[in-house]
Structure 1
Amino acid sequence: MTTPEHQPPAPDHSAPESRDRVYRSPAGIAAGVLLLAIALWLGIDALVSAHGRTPWLALAALILVLPTFAAFTVRPAVFANDERLRIRNPLRVIVLPWGSVASLQSGYSNEVVATSGTKFQLWAIPVSLRARKKAARQQSMAAARAAGAASGGRSRGRSSAVPDRPTRAQTDQVMDELRELFETHGASERAQGEPSVRWAYEIIGPAVAGAVLLAVLLAIG
């Protein structure tokens, strides 16, 4: 009689996902709220007080403008946990398990590169060249202070001061956190899988409807 071979326990895929870290652009949100408030103010005023075709034009413009403004300002966000990276861009939602990520790149824009070679821009984490230059100046000043302290310590026969930590722009710090998650969890079993991309029809649909309605109203005069 043969004895059954020992089978390793199956991985527990029912375990809950780790909590998301959420990254958004405060400047983008502020600009979006301002633009949406202005659009609503002008649109509602035209709807209430205008006459003839103007209220219909205002309604069509609102249907077009509101989702468009929201898509490019308030909507973008990046959600990251131990299993995957979820990117909510203006018109798409991309889900990338860490095992499907090849690298995270920072240049004039922040991007994630899938193992297939496809690049996805991180709209919620915009690059600020001004912030990078400011961080570089602060780092240079910190290095100069550390060098001065070290020189003074040697002249007095004491140990030199510990230099400040390198200063980084905020969005570069965010990319460092994402790279750390990728390097830590990219090889784990729960972080494997295929990327998925979904179009944001909840944004595209109303915007297209508003554009079509506006074009018809303008065409019929």
Structure 2
Amino acid sequence: MTTPEDQSPEPQPASEPKDRIYRSPWGMVGGVLLLALILWLGVDALVRGHGHTPWLALAGMILLVPLVSAFTLRPAVFAGADRLRVRNPFRVVTLPWGEVASLRSGYSNEAVTKSGAKYQLWAIPVSLRARKKAARHQARAAADAAAGRSPGGWLGGTGTGTGIGFGMRGARGGVLADGPTRSETDQVIDDLRELRETREKAESAQGEVAARWAYEVIGPVVAGAVLLVILLAV
């Protein structure tokens, strides 16, 4: 009979990261406002218009509603334990982590595969203004550190930060002074890079890159455009 000390603990399954969904909040807000305006003007033209006006309004709505939705509400990035799924305005791309070579962040954020293909991440737009603000904050924090000032101090006082001033700590434990040290979208890309590095060797994260066109968006847009051209030509 084995004693509890002799029993080896059963191996526990490794915990996998939860799926994450990234969207552009401002893009969604702008999309909702644009759609509300289009529907308001379109319905008003359908009800009160005369002659070809209702038909033009209908064709315009068939064209504009899916088009606006595609560029504002539709884009999303789904980061799972095994793959990155990118839903852009007119394409859906599934990238196993084993096939992702890098995640680049320049004037746009994009995923680069080992074959050299590039896929833009529409749902994670780059904010140059936020990036410059973060860079200014980093420079100011470095200058304060060089001068021996506490970045979290009040009244611009000097010291070690244990007196009057208390540094505010963010989610990652870094001391925040007057602003972020990284822009929000750059931080998202950093998180995705970390997830890729963690999961790229996993057996379940291997496979082929799959990309398909979003015909559910392209179809109505083309139909609305053709109908609008025909009505304008008549």
Structure 1 stretches lacking a partner, 5+ long: 1-16, 155-160
TM-score between both structures, scaled by the size of structure 1: 0.84
- What is the match of residue 186 of structure 1? 200
Deviation at 1:164, TM superposition (A): 3.6
Give the drift of 1:140.
1.9
Shift in Å, 1:138: 1.5
The alignment's C-alpha RMSD in Å is 2.0
CA distance in 2, matches of 1:127, 1:57: 36
Distance 1:135 1:217, change over 3 A: same
Alpha-carbon distance between aligned partners in 2 of 1:164 and 1:142, rounded to the nearest angstrom? 10
Displacement after TM superposition at 1:64 (Å): 0.2
AA aligned opposite 1:62: M
Displacement after TM superposition at 1:183 (Å): 0.4
Other-structure match for 1:3: none
Deviation at 1:146, TM superposition (A): 2.9
1:199 aligns with 2:217: no
Q: Deviations over 1:174-206 (max 9, x none)?
A: 000000000000011010000000111110011
**1:134, distance to aligned residue in structure 2 (A):** 0.5
Q: Secondary structure at the match of 2:148?
A: helix
Are 1:143 and 1:164, in contact at CA under 8 Å, matched by a contact in 2? no
Report what 2:42 is aligned to.
Answer: 43
1:120 lines up with 2:119 in the alignment: yes
Aligned equivalent of 1:33: 32
Judge conservation of contact 1:142–1:164 (CA < 8 Å) in 2: no
What is the CA–CA distance in structure 2 between the aligned matches of 1:58 and 1:20, rounded to whole Å? Answer: 41
Tell me the residue number matched to 1:90.
89
What is the number of equivalent residue pairs in this alignment?
Answer: 197
TM-score by length of 2: 0.79
Counterpart in the other structure of 2:228: 214
* Distance change >3 Å, CA 213–CA 150, structure 1 → 2: closer
Q: Secondary structure at the match of 1:62?
A: helix
1:173 corresponds in structure 2 to: 187
- Name stretches of at least 5 consecutive residues in structure 2 with no aligned partner: 1-15, 151-157, 161-166, 168-173
The one-letter code sitting in structure 2 at the alignment partner of 1:31 is: G
Identity level (%)? 66
What SS is found at the alignment partner of 2:85?
strand
Equivalent position of 2:100 in the other structure: 101
Structure with the bigger percentage of helix = 1
Using the TM superposition, give the Cα deviation of residue 37 of structure 1 relative to its aligned residue in structure 2, in angstroms.
0.8
Q: Which moved more, 1:114-123 or 1:135-144?
A: 135-144
Code of the residue aligned with 2:70 in structure 1: it is: A
Q: Distance in 2 between matches of 1:53 and 1:150?
A: 71
What is the DSSP-based 3-state SS (H/G/I as helix, E as strand, rest coil) of the residue aligned with 2:217? helix
In structure 2, C-alpha distance between the alignment counterparts of 1:146 and 1:34, rounded to whole Å: 45
